[in-house]
Chain A
């Protein structure tokens, strides 16, 4: 077999004559190959992630409207005007307050419920573990539209299951979805129910990673169940808890589907969330304004995630 000549020049160079150039050529080739392998991802990432991110940032600083869709560059640069307008808008403030309320209650509730269920499933009920795991995970993978229909029935004031049960013990239940005070708690209940399975499954996996002998050793030292939970389970579960908290927090700050299908943001704006307001403003064609809102939400997500990392990071 004749050695190739022109096509692969580095191979035709006799060995030992110019070692330096040869290595650099090889390195360049490896570099090219690496780029070749990385190219599909890089191109996809640039086209579908970087460009939209850059253009939405651009949008946030312009007065772009629906009518500018054909000429997106022929718009005025307005600096921080959109952000000022967003922050001064009472509807946005109400939506931000609602979102904080939702995250502040629903996130700890979801995590606490998930942890409780995971511990229960981990300690006993070994036979039914898969059944429960499926049961609690089912809402996570069920379509929100189907869930909404069922929940509307459950929460129906006159003959719904929730108020019928309350009626049995002599409590007249509120008009859950149409009372400004109760609408948000209803959605918090529903969101917790929908999302608890996800964190539970992750936490259960985390729990199963904690060595049994730690519990045995501590039991010999006389530690009770509560002490074991506080001194072994929680510290060793910290990274898992952090993961669940961050994922749940990010999801909850973008609270949208529940008000969208259940309340349309009402009554009296009580369940309007930031993400819903962004959706509305996009619908009205206020692209600049809603892009600015999106970045406000983005910053809130960054801050929340940062706080969670500070609070839950494992001590070195």
Chain B
């Protein structure tokens, strides 16, 4: 039989590869290559071909914007490749690892640090003015002190509530934590099964919870970049957040799929969500439903805060046409283009000046976001954040279930975060 020697040969071969691989291994002592000092964008129109990857709806709609850019710069061709969100991280990781990258890429605000960790993104040139953007949005581009992209569009979390129920209960929109508790109780008295819905478990629970922590005065990282999760604010916020479930004002376990329908049916008085939910509600309940709900900022405690998300535009470190790529980014984040893009996609502009445009300022359903965005913040841009967030999701779930006290939970969050580390050298 030929089989045994052949297998043995194969085994030897793979052992050899392994041995070779092992001798070649070992981390070099240099800390991760530091970003090149920011360059500048040249004068004159863009030229050549600019490859752009964009995700989801943006990927479908971006060609419209690209046409405008091509009209301004006759010598440039913009190729937009839509990438589904679900497979985007793997696809981009592979692209960066092999060097077969586009010039410009849309990056979800919470994904920046991962690609920067791979040395995949180029540092933002000095020509881009950070002050033009909402500070929370700009922060998402900054990893370990250097910016690697430009905020493109933003989203933030607000309170949706049934105006008819609130009117019936004689309630004003809540402004403080105590108001919100009373508000939820009042909506419940007015006929809702639950006054409010807050995420109780699963991915992104932390993103709904952290605004309350920030409102209580908490910080995730201190100025020195150390985790500061075990403190009074954490205990207070956890106690407050879980009090809604404990006191029956919010579903003990929220089933995300049922939220919108329950709200439309009047079984749910209010919930926390982002700007996209308006379209969901109107598709589910019809356009007339617009009169029945209102949108207000989250309540304040020590301070006001919400979560800011959205996407940035980044130029790849290995981009073939970086200069024109930055020109495209500059164009896409120009205040006027941003207003135009809002018209195309309904994406909220990341540039503050765009909000003075009547298209946004005169639309009450949109204007409410401006104030919220000014103080909205993001989770830290560190490579390990998704793992830490996952641990925190699980801890919050245990607090809501009553299995863990807020004090122990705060200590566990701190321990989980410090043992995982920031992932920055």
- Point out residues on A near B: beta carbons under 8 Å: 46, 50-51, 53-55, 57-58, 62, 65-67, 69-70, 73-77, 152, 175, 178, 180, 264, 266-269, 280, 283-286
Q: Which residues of A contact B118 (CB under 8 A)?
A: 66-67, 69-70
| Total count of chain B residues near the partner, CB < 8 A | 37
* B27 and A58 form a contact (CB under 8 A): no
Query: CB within 8 A of A284: which of B96, B202, B390?
Result: B390
Residues of A within 8 A of B13 (CB): 46, 50
Given contacts A66-B114, A268-B403, 16 further A-B contacts (CB under 8 A): A46-B10, A50-B10, A53-B14, A54-B18, A58-B18, A70-B96, A74-B25, A74-B26, A74-B28, A75-B25, A76-B25, A264-B203, A266-B202, A284-B384, A285-B387, A286-B387
Complex alpha-carbon distance, A175 and B251, angstroms: 13
B201 and A266 form a contact (CB under 8 A): yes
Name the one of B25, B93, B386 contacting A69, with C-beta atoms under 8 angstroms: B93
Tell me whether B97 is interfacial, beta carbon within 8 Å.
yes
Tell me the residues in window 243-264 of chain B with beta carbons closer than 8 Å to chain A beta carbons: 253, 255, 257
Determine if B21 and A58 form an interchain contact, defined as CB atoms under 8 angstroms apart. yes
Q: Give Cα A67 to B425, complex, Å.
A: 12
Assess the B26–A67 pair: CB atoms within 8 A.
no
The yes or no answer to B330 lying at the interface (CB within 8 A) is no
Report yes or no: A285 in contact with B383, Cβ–Cβ below 8 A. yes
B residues near A (Cβ < 8 Å) are: 10, 13-14, 17-18, 21-22, 24-28, 32, 93, 96-97, 114, 117-119, 201-203, 253, 255, 257, 383-384, 386-387, 390, 394, 397-398, 401, 403, 423
Residues in B whose Cβ lies below 8 Å from that of A67: 32, 117-118, 383, 423
Tell me if A's interface is mostly helix, strand, loop or mixed.
loop
CA distance A178 to B14 in the complex (A): 46
Question: Does the CB pair B17–A175 fall under 8 Å?
Answer: no
In the assembled complex, how far is the CB of residue A90 from the closest CB belonging to chain B, in whole angstroms? 11
Query: A75 CA to B68 CA in the complex, in Å?
Result: 46
Tell me the bound Cα distance from A58 to B15 in angstroms.
10
Given A57-B18, A66-B114, A67-B383, verify A73-B25 contact (CB < 8 Å). yes
**Distance to closest chain A CB from B308 (angstroms):** 23
19 contacts between A and B (CB under 8 A): A51-B14, A51-B17, A65-B423, A67-B383, A70-B96, A74-B26, A76-B26, A76-B27, A77-B25, A264-B203, A266-B202, A267-B397, A267-B401, A268-B397, A268-B398, A268-B403, A269-B394, A284-B386, A285-B114
A74 and B386 alpha carbons, distance in the complex (Å): 24
Query: What B residues does A66 contact at CB under 8 A?
Result: 93, 114, 117-118, 383
B97 partner residues in chain A, CB cutoff 8 A: 69-70
CB of B96 within 8 A of CB of A280, answer: no
| Cβ–Cβ contact A267 & B386, under 8 A | no
Contact A75 B27 (CB under 8 A): yes
Instruction: Determine if B257 and A152 form an interchain contact, defined as CB atoms under 8 angstroms apart.
Output: yes
The 6 closest A-B pairs by CB, nearest first: A284-B387, A67-B117, A178-B253, A54-B14, A69-B97, A73-B24
Query: Smallest Cβ distance from A304 to chain B, in angstroms?
Result: 24
Contacts of A77 in B (CB 8 A): 22, 25-26
Interface centre among A51, A67, A286 (most CB of B within 10 A): A67
| Bound: A74/B32 CA distance, A | 12
Interfacial chain A residues near B17, Cβ < 8 Å: 51, 54
Return chain A residues, CB-CB under 8 Å to B25: 62, 73-77
Q: Say whether B394 contacts A50, CB under 8 Å.
A: no
Which residues of B are found within 8 Å of A283, using beta-carbon distances? 386
Are B14 and A50 in contact (CB-based, < 8 A)? yes
Instruction: Give B257's nearest chain A residue, CB to CB.
Output: A152
Known: A46-B10, A51-B17, A66-B114. A264 touches B26 (CB 8 A): no
Cβ distance A186 to chain B, nearest Cβ, rounded Å: 14
